[in-house]
Amino acid sequence: MYRLYLCHGPNCTARGADATRRALDAALWDADLLAQVELLSSGCQDHCAHGPLLLIHPGTCRYVGVTPERAAALVAHHLRDGDPVPAWQATPAMRRGAS
C-alpha cells in the first residue's frame, strides 16, 4: 500500500497542484491501482520553489515539479513498476531555508 501526499500549500497550488491531482487520479484509475494507493493532500512540505511536491510512503521519495505529465509517468514507474525516478526527486538544497 502506497500513501501519496500531494502538497496543496499556497505555492504548490499556484504551480498547478490541482491539475496534478486530477492527473494522478486518472493515472491511478487507468493503472488499476486505486485499491493499493491512497492519495492525500498535505500542507506545505518546504520545497515551495520546486512544486508541485509529491511525497510517497513507504520510503522517502519526494518528487518535485510534478506536472500532470510527470504524475502519469510516476504512477507507471514508481507505483506500478516499483522503479523510482531519481532525476525528479528533491535534493537537500531544494528545501526551503537550505544554504
Choice from 25, 31, 46, 73 touching ligand FES (CB under 6 A): 46
Segment lying near ligand FES (by CB under 6 A), choices 29-37, 42-50, 67-75, 76-84 = 42-50
Helix (H, G, I), strand (E, B) or coil at 64: coil
Choice from 7, 23, 71, 90 touching ligand FES (CB under 6 A): 7
Question: Least Å distance between CB 76 and ligand FES?
Answer: 23
Q: Is 37 or 53 the residue whose CB approaches ligand FES more closely? A: 53
Question: Least Å distance between CB 68 and ligand FES?
Answer: 16
- Residue 97, all three cell numbers: 531555508
- Residue 22, all three cell numbers: 486530477
Please count the other Cβ atoms lying within 10 Å of the Cβ belonging to residue 2. Answer: 17
Instruction: Say how far apart CA 70 and CA 23 lie, in whole Å.
Output: 9
Based on the shown chain and the rule CB under 6 A, indicate whether residue 44 belongs to the binding site for ligand FES.
Answer: yes
**C-alpha torsion angle, residues 41, 35, 87, 61 (rounded to 10):** 60
Nearest CA-CA partner of 47 in 85, 17, 80, 78: 17
Question: Least Å distance between CB 81 and ligand FES?
Answer: 26
Contact residues for ligand FES, defined by CB under 6 A:
7, 9-12, 44-48, 51, 53
